[in-house]
Amino acid sequence: MTELDHARTLLFVPGHRPDRFAKAAAAGADAVVLDLEDAVGVEEKDTAREHVAEFLGSGRSAVVRINGVGTPWHAEDLAMVRQHSCAIMLPKAADPAQVAAVSRQVPAVIPLIETAAGVLGAAEICRVEGVVRPAFGSVDLAAELGVDHTDRQALLHARSALVLAAAAAELAAPLDGVTTAVHDEALLIADSAHAASLGFAGKLCIHPKQLPTVRAAFTPSAETVQWANAVLRASADGSVAVLDGQMIDKPVVDRARRILGQIPS
Residues belonging to the binding site for substrate are 65, 114
Q: Which residues contact 103 (CB under 8 A, 6 or more apart)?
A: 109, 128, 129, 130, 131
Helices (H), strands (E): how many in the chain? 13, 10
Q: Return the half-sphere exposure (C-beta side, CA atoms, 13 A cut-off) of residue 169.
A: 24
- Angle, nearest 10°, between helix axes 74-84 and 45-57? 10
Residue numbering of the annotated binding site: 65, 114, 140
Q: CB–CB of 2/39 below 8 Å?
A: no
Give, in degrees to the nearest 5, the angle at Cα 61 between 18 and 115: 80
Residue numbering of the annotated binding site for Mg(2+): 114, 140
